[in-house]
């Protein structure tokens, strides 16, 4: 919820946008299922939650790749922002797209 509200800030006149409403209903539905019967709905709720988290992380990596590309801190080439194709900074453990050259957090060269 907080991530969606943060992402939507400034896009419209109000913070209550369609993505915020969808995220709210999604989280209410998952909590309702979780509280209804943990034994029966626990696994589907966990899978849905992990899937949603992976989508948010992939979107974040995509935005990070766009920002790095705009700063000319990435090699030229196709966008490789999926979570399976990343490189991790040896100094600060921050994850970046595989085409990143420098860590934007600590400045260490990634290649």
Summarize as ranges the residues that interact with Zn ion (CB under 5 A). 89, 91-92, 94, 103, 105-106, 108
Least distance (Å) between residue 71 CB and Zn ion: 15
| Residues 68 and 96: beta-carbon distance below 8 Å | yes
Least distance (Å) between residue 102 CB and Zn ion: 8
Q: Please name the residue that has the structure tokens 């600060």.
A: 92
First to last CA, the chain: 36
Least distance (Å) between residue 66 CB and Zn ion: 19
Structure tokens at 23: 């995220």
Cβ-based nearer residue to Zn ion, 23 or 97: 97
Least distance (Å) between residue 36 CB and Zn ion: 43
| Residues 99 and 77: beta-carbon distance below 8 Å | yes
| Residues 43 and 67: beta-carbon distance below 8 Å | no
Cβ-based nearer residue to Zn ion, 47 or 92: 92
Cβ-based nearer residue to Zn ion, 16 or 92: 92
Cβ-based nearer residue to Zn ion, 83 or 90: 90
Q: Which residues contact 84 (CB under 8 A, 6 or more apart)?
A: none
């Amino acid at each position: 919820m907080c991530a969606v509200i943060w992402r939507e800030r400034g896009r419209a006149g109000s913070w209550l946008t369609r993505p915020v409403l969808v995220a709210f209903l999604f989280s209410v539905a998952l909590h309702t299922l979780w509280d209804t019967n943990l034994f029966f709905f626990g696994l589907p709720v966990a899978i849905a939650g992990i899937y949603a988290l992976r989508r948010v992380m992939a979107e974040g990596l995509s935005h990070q790749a766009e920002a790095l590309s705009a700063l000319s801190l990435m090699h030229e080439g196709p966008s490789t922002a999926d979570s399976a194709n990343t490189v991790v900074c040896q100094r600060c453990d921050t994850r970046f797209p595989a085409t990143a050259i420098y860590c934007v957090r600590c400045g260490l060269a990634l290649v």
